[in-house]
């Protein structure tokens, strides 16, 4: 990799690690305190809410957010006027999608709580969470645009700010208003983060002499259909599976206690995967730029470098997590043998999920959206079959869901590696 590209990669990763790392550390500490304040059942209920929020976020950030980032990264240096019209259109479509998803959750909150979660007490928290969906989606779209401008320092600050606000919301909300207080606090913190992010984006657009005009809705819908539809479908099935897994647990015996184990594991999976995900996300604008310039050899080297960095960054921290799994669960008052095994399985599955991240972003950078969708579809079917078999038929609870995660992600890594490097190989042959 040449020196300028290495400098861009190093700068992108370093700022992303600082911002996201700070936010995740704050949230991890806050989750321990909140779990002890709410108790196992209410914390499990909070887990259901968060899995729902993550699922809805995933319908915005990886699909439409990626389209915004890709548009900015590819046009900012060569076609500023075209960038203006494209951004105006994409932001209009994106904000409208956020509003639709938030309204949909608000209107269906009672049905979801009763019919899917089999837990009527989740109704009000789900209703309150619709505010977070709206402003969380807007925040994701704005930060995607900032990443396209390679404003990694600003994104790092925004992620730290958002993590701090949500961490305060966890503890303060639990103390003053229980579960409903936590959800309300998250909504307020997300609104503040989106507002600050919007101000930063306006400043960058002024510096780049890019003014947002009246949106061209036809252009926005066309761009969303061409670039976002396959990515949207990919993230739809990818995000629906973990959400569906949490619902399967919630409907079994000792339901919310099992979801609490899954929720705790998810916090630590996020910590384990945060550096690998930042490596993949931070280099995605650079991969897109290299692909657009036709530098496929350099791109392949960057992909291999990403995989090496991800391997090191995920294998080192997982060892103490596996060794001290009982102690970690004891922090949440959840340390029993069965839950410890579930925790370990979910951590190991995160290794394969982390390795899949740079491959997925490479497919997106190459514009192979439908190939990415096909790979994710295979993963989703396998996960669904494994989860249904282990959780529902075999009644193995969170342990069975852990096995479903592990088997499906290991298979996904194998298939994604084959597809990605085959495309790169074919492209280099034609040069």
Q: What is the pLDDT of residues 259-317, one digit of tens each?
A: 888 999 998 998 898 888 878 877 777 787 777 777 778 888 888 888 999 999 999 99
Contacts of 402 (CB under 8 A, 6+ apart): 265, 341, 342, 343, 344, 345, 346, 349
DSSP annotation of 394: S
- Mean pLDDT taken over the chain: 86
Are 67 and 231 in contact by the 8 Å Cβ rule? The answer is yes
Query: What DSSP string runs through 148-175?
Result: HTT-HHHHHHHHHHHHHHHHHHHHHHHH
Domain ranges of the chain: 3-430
* Cα gap 400→385, rounded to integer Å: 12
Residues 56-87 have pLDDT tens digits of 888 787 678 878 887 888 787 777 778 888 88
Find the helix or strand (DSSP H, E) in which 247 lies.
helix 229-250
- Reported as a pLDDT band with limits 50, 70 and 90, residue 430 is low
Q: Is the pTM of this model over 0.85?
A: no
Q: Which has the closest alpha carbon to 158: 215, 204, 90?
A: 204
Q: What is the pLDDT of residues 161-211, one digit of tens each?
A: 998 999 999 999 999 999 999 999 999 999 999 999 999 999 988 888 777
Structure tokens at 426: 């074919």
Given a contact cutoff of 8 angstroms between Cβ atoms, the answer to whether 204 and 146 are in contact is yes
Q: Which residues contact 107 (CB under 8 A, 6 or more apart)?
A: none
For the chain, count helices (H), then strands (E): 14, 0
For residue 277, what pLDDT is reported? 82
Phi, psi of 395 (to 5 degrees): 55, 45
Position 347 pLDDT exceeds 90: yes
194 touches 135 (CB < 8 A):
yes
Tell me how far apart the alpha carbons of residues 390 and 286 are, in angstroms, rounded to a whole number. Answer: 41
């Amino acid at each position: 990799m040449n020196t300028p590209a290495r400098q861009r990669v190093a700068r992108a990763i370093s700022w992303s690690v600082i911002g996201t790392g700070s936010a995740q550390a704050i949230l991890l500490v806050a989750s321990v305190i909140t779990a002890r304040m709410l108790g196992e059942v209410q914390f499990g209920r909070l887990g259901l809410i968060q899995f729902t929020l993550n699922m809805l976020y995933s319908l915005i950030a990886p699909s439409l957010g990626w389209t915004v980032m890709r548009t900015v990264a590819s046009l900012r240096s060569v076609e500023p006027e075209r960038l203006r019209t494209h951004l105006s259109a994409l932001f209009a479509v994106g904000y409208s999608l956020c509003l639709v998803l938030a309204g949909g959750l608000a209107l269906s909150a009672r049905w979801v709580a009763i019919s899917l979660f089999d837990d009527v007490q989740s109704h009000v928290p789900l209703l309150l969470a619709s505010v977070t969906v709206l402003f969380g989606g807007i925040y994701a779209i704005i930060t995607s645009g900032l990443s396209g401008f390679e404003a990694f320092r600003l994104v790092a600050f925004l992620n730290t700010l958002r993590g701090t606000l949500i961490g305060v919301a966890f503890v303060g909300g639990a103390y003053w208003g229980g579960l409903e207080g936590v959800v309300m606090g998250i909504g307020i913190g997300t609104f503040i983060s989106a507002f600050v992010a919007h101000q930063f984006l306006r400043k960058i657009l002024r510096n780049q002499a890019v003014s947002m005009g009246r949106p061209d809705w036809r252009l926005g819908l066309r761009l969303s259909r061409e670039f976002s539809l396959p990515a949207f479908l990919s993230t739809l099935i990818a995000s629906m599976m973990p959400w569906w897994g949490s619902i399967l647990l919630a409907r079994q015996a000792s339901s919310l206690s099992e979801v609490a184990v899954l929720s705790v594991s998810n916090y630590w999976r996020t910590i384990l995967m945060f550096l690998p995900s930042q490596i993949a996300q931070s280099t995605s604008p650079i991969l897109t730029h290299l692909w657009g310039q036709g530098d496929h050899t350099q791109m392949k080297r960057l992909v291999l470098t990403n995989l090496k960095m991800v391997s090191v960054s995920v294998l080192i921290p997982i060892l103490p997590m596996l060794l001290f799994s009982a102690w970690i669960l004891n922090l949440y008052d959840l340390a029993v043998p069965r839950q410890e095994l579930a925790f370990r399985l979910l951590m190991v599955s995160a290794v394969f999920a982390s390795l899949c991240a740079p491959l997925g972003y490479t497919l997106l950078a190459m514009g192979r959206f439908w190939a990415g969708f096909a790979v994710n579809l295979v993963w989703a079917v396998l996960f669904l079959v494994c989860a249904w078999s282990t959780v529902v038929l075999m009644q193995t609870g969170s342990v069975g869901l852990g096995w479903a995660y592990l088997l499906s992600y290991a298979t996904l890594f194998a298939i994604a590696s084959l597809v990605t490097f085959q495309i790169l190989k074919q492209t280099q042959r034609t040069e």
